[in-house]
Amino acid sequence: MPISYKRDVIGQGIALTEITDAKFKSNYISVSFVSPVVAENAPLNTLVAEVLASSSAKLPSLTALSKRLAYLYGAVLSTKSRRVGDNQENGLTIEYICDDFTIGKEVISVEAVKLLLDCLFDPQLENGTFSEKYVEMRKTELQDNIRAEINDKFGYSMRRAREVIYKDEPTSVSMLGTIENAKAITPQKLFERYKCLLRSAQIEITMCGRDFSAVRPVIIKAMQSLERKDVVAVTYQKPSPIKPQVQRKTETQDVNQCKMIMAFKSTCRDVYVAKVFAAVLGGTPFSKLFSNVREKLSLCYYCSAAYSDLKGTMVVSSGVSRENIEKAEKAVLEQLEAVKNGEFTEQELENAETYLCTGFKSNNDSIYRMAEYYIAQNTRGTAYPPEEVCRIFKGITKQQVIDCAKTFVYDSFYVMQTPDDETEVDGNG
């Protein structure tokens, strides 16, 4: 358990979460702008973070910035751009070693944090806007990333599946946008977006590590100097509507292994019961899906279930060979029915709960995972320590899991398959 956790509102729409534990030898700080996903803004927000991570007024080139980070014992400055339900989180993070462990206890923490804040709030400007050189460089990179999405077959299939699962919802929007949109971005347009985020996006600061006493006042001062207006509140919990019929989509790609993704949606709003249900069905190496669909039936190389409470959706993903797609789909549905019918033992339930507890408690041992853990807690409006969540898991009964399972409805089916047949099928089924 961490030694201390606290969360404070330090400005209009600005929250600072601090988790400290003296066992760590490095510190991690994440500063994010959180805003509702809007298709035209999504790639701009992504690009703002990339440009901010390229230079600052004080370190006006990528080389100067990289050299400074290297000098600070290889402090790592990274961008963070991701979707959180129907919202987008974009920002910068820094990790640096604690002053107690530098050579001769050299103090670097304040300098590392100032570097982060300079990148975020004092960017390198030319004629009152972002440096054209770095905007162009990051635009090219954004286009490369759009083109390279296909290189990661798993990620690409998930993105395509999301378009089916969350049709017409913000969750289906690409964070990268299209090549055409990327090309049309100008430094002025991007700078306007940056100013808008500074002014009105929710700002979440999360710090996790050994000690922040010296840097906390520096961060608070920087945040309080921001001019904030019309802050847009974010809603994290937005369950996806259940479709009247299963939506099906099949695409072909030059792949050796087909990716099959099935989505199930639910009205169950108890996140921890739903997590236990997903674990029993397909969240562990002894789950129904793993032991039956993979091990006993040898229908796929992987087959697992994951539940998103923000969207009230469970996604089952698997890698299958083409001739097994139909059989694998049927087998997954059979296992879901089995759980709905209570065909699992108290032991299986206990094992799934224990497995989840191990995962939750192990968050205590990593500065990133601890930070991420409390960010997720915040999306649920809670701040339970991992031990409290484990206590909740351990109290969940078989009947609760059955009742929760029964609320899950088959919603969407997506397959990316090998190209030996030219058929592409869209439609309802």
Partner 1 sequence: MDKQVIASRQLDEQYTLVHHPSGLDIMMWKKPGFSTVEALFGTKYGSINNCFATDDTNGFITVPDGIAHYLEHKLFESDDNSSVFELYAQTGAAANAFTSTDITAYLFSCTDNYEQSLEILLDFVQKPYFTKENVEKEQGIIAQEIKMGDDSPTRKCFKNLLKAVYVNNPVRIDVAGTVESIAKITPELLYDCYNAFYNLHNMTLSIAGNIDEQTVLDICDKMLKPSKDMHLQTQFPDEPDDVAQTRICDYAAVGLPVFCLGFKTQAAQGREYLKKSVIAAMLLEQLIGQTSPLYNSLLEEGLINSALGMFVYTSAERYFCCVIEGESKDPDEVSKRIFAEIERLKTEGLDKEAFETDKRVRYGEKVSSINDVKACADAMLYYHFDCDDVTLFDDLDIIASLTAEECEQAIDDIFCAERSSLSIVKNKE
Place of tokens 């009947």: 399
Query: 40 or 106, CB closer to partner 1?
Result: 106
Instruction: Determine if 82 is a binding residue for partner 1 (CB under 8 A).
Output: no
Residue 146 and residue 179 in contact, taking contact as beta carbons nearer than 8 Å: yes
Q: Copy the structure tokens of residue 355.
A: 């497995």
Instruction: Determine if 316 is a binding residue for partner 1 (CB under 8 A).
Output: no
Residue in 237, 257, 308, 400 binding partner 1, rule: CB under 8 A: 257
Report the distance separating Cα 30 and Cα 384, nearest Å: 20
Query: 101 or 126, CB closer to partner 1?
Result: 101
Instruction: Determine if 367 is a binding residue for partner 1 (CB under 8 A).
Output: yes
- How many CB atoms neighbour CB 28 within 10 A? 21
Query: 152 or 337, CB closer to partner 1?
Result: 152
Q: Copy the structure tokens of residue 164.
A: 């089916």
- The letter for the amino acid at 117 is L
Q: What is the residue-wise DSSP string for 115-168? A: HHHHHHHS--EETTEE-HHHHHHHHHHHHHHHHHGGGSHHHHHHHHHHHHHTTT
Nearest approach, Cβ of residue 239 and partner 1 (Å) = 29
Query: 284 or 379, CB closer to partner 1?
Result: 284
> How many amino acids of this chain bind partner 1 (CB under 8 A)?
67
Residue in 57, 101, 125, 217 binding partner 1, rule: CB under 8 A: 101
Residue in 13, 43, 123, 319 binding partner 1, rule: CB under 8 A: 319
Nearest approach, Cβ of residue 134 and partner 1 (Å) = 9
Nearest approach, Cβ of residue 2 and partner 1 (Å) = 10
Q: Copy the structure tokens of residue 53.
A: 């991570």
Output the CA–CA distances (angstroms, integers) from residue 276 to 12, 36, 120, 361, 408, in the order listed: 37, 29, 39, 15, 13
Instruction: Determine if 376 is a binding residue for partner 1 (CB under 8 A).
Output: no
The DSSP call for residue 103 is: G
Contact region for partner 1 (CB under 8 A) — 162-170, 219-227, 250-258, 266-274?
Answer: 250-258
Residue in 99, 111, 122, 141 binding partner 1, rule: CB under 8 A: 141
Query: 123 or 319, CB closer to partner 1?
Result: 319
Query: 101 or 337, CB closer to partner 1?
Result: 101
Report the distance separating Cα 32 and Cα 84, nearest Å: 12
Residue in 8, 40, 126, 144 binding partner 1, rule: CB under 8 A: 144
Instruction: Determine if 217 is a binding residue for partner 1 (CB under 8 A).
Output: no
Report the distance separating Cα 339 and Cα 282, nearest Å: 11
Contact region for partner 1 (CB under 8 A) — 84-92, 183-191, 216-224, 353-361?
Answer: 353-361
> Cα torsion at 158, 160, 164, 170 (round to 10°)?
90
Residue 348 and residue 282 in contact, taking contact as beta carbons nearer than 8 Å: no
Burial of residue 80, with CB atoms counted within 10 A of its CB: 0-12 exposed, 13-18 middle, 19 or more buried: middle
- How many CB atoms neighbour CB 280 within 10 A? 28
Residue in 230, 254, 323, 420 binding partner 1, rule: CB under 8 A: 254
Contact region for partner 1 (CB under 8 A) — 34-42, 61-69, 371-379, 403-411?
Answer: 61-69
Residue in 5, 73, 236, 384 binding partner 1, rule: CB under 8 A: 73
Report the distance separating Cα 255 and Cα 329, nearest Å: 19
Dihedral sign from CA coordinates of 226, 232, 235, 236? negative
Query: 268 or 390, CB closer to partner 1?
Result: 390
Instruction: Determine if 252 is a binding residue for partner 1 (CB under 8 A).
Output: no
Instruction: Determine if 62 is a binding residue for partner 1 (CB under 8 A).
Output: yes
- How many CB atoms neighbour CB 8 within 10 A? 13
- How many CB atoms neighbour CB 168 within 10 A? 8
Contacting positions for partner 1 (CB under 8 A): 21-26, 61-63, 66-67, 70-75, 95-97, 101, 103, 133, 137, 140-141, 144-153, 253-257, 284-286, 290-291, 294-295, 298, 300-301, 319-321, 347, 351, 354-355, 357-359, 361-362, 364-367
